[in-house]
């Protein structure tokens, strides 16, 4: 890889859309290049501004179209997929195309555009602040139980903050709530989200005091618990 190639990776790096070989080369170069540092910060700032200003909702037909595609797309057999374990090796990122870059940006914009309740501005600001960090990451949690809905987590280790994005969820049972767990190699930390998702959504900002190796969701008593008592319904390794 030439030095010119490395300089051209600033935009892809800002969107976490490069492979491990490119990441290693760019990060070795990044600390000594003021131009690349400035470019990465500028790209992050642009992403944050787009995310916090674009409020157009998705077309009403989009969900039906997506669900129709899901119904006709063959999924991998469970026999072909290794069970998720907390000590599983770190997942290799393979986002290395413009399509992946666009998908990452669209996810951020759509996530902000749907947060239009009483606290929409505050949550949009929280999400934009996290995504503006050079080390920010976004992870879609894998459904571990067949439950309805989706969960995404965006976080920055240097900022020590995360945002939880839950959509299309069934309301939690009486006296129960959705709980997010930050998992490290040594501990599982309750984030005390404790949101019953009465409107089908969970949109929360929270402190992230440790670097995660995985994130997980369970359903717990509303009063909270430091140790998980419910089954893991969503989980993904970082």
Long-range contacts of 99-107 (CB under 8 A, 24+ apart): 100/15, 100/17, 101/11, 101/12, 101/15, 101/17, 104/15, 104/16, 104/17, 104/138, 105/15, 105/47, 105/50, 107/138, 107/152
Domain ranges of the chain: 3-237
Whether 77 has a pLDDT exceeding 90, the answer reads no
**pLDDT of amino acid 175:** 93
Based on its alpha-carbon atoms, the radius of gyration of the chain, rounded to whole angstroms, reads: 19
The average pLDDT across 87-113 equals 43
> Per-residue pLDDT for 217 more than 60?
yes
Stronger pLDDT, 112 or 18, i.e. the higher one: 18
pLDDT confidence of 158, banded at 50, 70, 90?
Answer: very high
- Give per-residue pLDDT as tens, 7-65: 778 888 877 777 888 888 888 887 788 888 888 887 777 766 666 555 555 556 665 66
Q: 192-212 pLDDT, tens per residue?
A: 999 999 989 899 999 999 999
Average pLDDT, the chain: 76
How would DSSP label each residue in 162-215?
A: EEEEEESPPPPPTTEEEEEEEE-SS-EEE----B--TTS-EEEEEE--S--SEE
Burial of 39-74, coded b for 16+ CB within 10 Å and e otherwise, reads: bbeebbeebbeebbeeeeeeeeeeeeeeeeeeeeee
């Amino acid at each position: 890889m030439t030095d010119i190639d490395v300089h051209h990776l600033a935009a892809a790096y800002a969107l976490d859309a490069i492979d491990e070989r490119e990441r290693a080369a760019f990060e070795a170069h990044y600390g000594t290049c003021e131009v690349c540092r400035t470019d990465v910060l500028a790209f992050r700032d642009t992403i944050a501004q787009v995310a916090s200003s674009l409020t157009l909702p998705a077309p009403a037909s989009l969900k039906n179209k997506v669900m129709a595609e899901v119904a006709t797309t063959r999924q991998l057999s469970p026999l072909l997929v290794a069970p998720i374990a907390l000590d599983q090796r770190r997942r290799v990122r393979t986002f290395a195309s413009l399509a992946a870059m666009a998908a990452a940006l669209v996810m951020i914009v759509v996530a902000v555009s749907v947060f239009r309740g009483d606290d929409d501005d505050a949550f949009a600001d929280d999400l934009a602040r996290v995504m503006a960090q050079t080390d920010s990451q976004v992870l879609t949690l894998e459904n571990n139980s067949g439950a309805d809905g989706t969960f995404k987590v965006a976080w920055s280790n240097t900022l020590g903050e995360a945002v939880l994005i839950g959509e299309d969820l069934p309301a939690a049972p009486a006296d129960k709530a959705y709980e997010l767990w930050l998992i490290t190699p040594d501990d599982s930390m309750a984030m005390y989200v404790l949101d019953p998702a009465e409107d089908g959504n969970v949109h929360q900002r929270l402190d992230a005091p440790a670097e995660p190796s995985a994130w997980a969701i369970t359903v717990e008593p509303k009063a909270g618990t430091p140790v998980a008592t419910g089954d893991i319904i969503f989980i993904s390794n970082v």
